[in-house]
Amino acid sequence: MATQQPAETIAGAVDDLEYTVLARTSHTPNIIELELAPADERLSYRSGQYVLIGDPDHTLPVRSYSLANATNPSGRISLLVTEVPGGEMSTWLHRGLRIGYRVLVSGPYGTFVADPGADGPVLCLAAGSEASLRSGRSPKTPYAALALNGSPCCSPRARRPM
């Protein structure tokens, strides 16, 4: 069951880890998926957490993005980014960022994570652009997406209407 865990039980946040863009996939006209690989130190996170993304020159406002993949040995992370009209960071990620470029990743943040003590099935509901890509529906189609234990299923930052 997804529960609010005390902050001290969550891995400590790390500032400004360098990650390299490995892949940039366009899913819709305004949603891309970024696959990022750590240049050195890897981020340790749990499903349901999010990171802050910044540019290496510190010229753009830092923005939060939910982690869209489960942890893996390579340390790679995936982010789904919706381009926001007038949004400096989302516009840069969509129109300026290329494969091989570096970004700064800080985190993880968020305490809405799965309860490691749960011994039965877990039901998670998600909505927004991230869940629509996982379910194969249009981002404008209302629905609920379901996931089971260990899957990224909750987006604490996706609390806005679509």
CATH fold of 2-112 reads Elongation Factor Tu (Ef-tu); domain 3 (2.40.30)
| Token representation of residue 97 | 């960022």
Nearest to 132 by CA among 150, 155, 98, 109: 155
Distance CA 83, CA 32 (A): 8
* Confidence (pLDDT) at 156: 40
**For the purposes of burial, counting CB atoms within 10 Å of the CB of 61, is it exposed (0-12), middle (13-18) or buried (19 or more)?**
exposed
Each domain of the chain, given as residue ranges in start order, spans 2-112
Q: Which residues of 64-81 are buried (b: 16+ CB within 10 A; e: fewer)?
A: bbbbbbebeeebbbbbbb
CA distances to 69, 128, 144 from 134, in Å: 11, 10, 11
Distance CA 33, CA 39 (A): 19
* Confidence (pLDDT) at 12: 66
List of residues 6+ apart from 153 with CB closer than 8 A: 2, 47, 48, 124, 125, 126, 145, 146, 147
Nearest to 96 by CA among 139, 34, 39: 34
Q: What is the pLDDT along the chain (162 residues), one digit of tens a residue?
A: 444 444 433 456 788 999 999 999 999 999 999 999 999 999 988 888 899 999 999 999 999 999 998 888 999 999 999 999 999 999 999 999 999 999 999 999 988 777 777 787 777 666 665 554 444 444 443 334 444 444 444 444 333 333
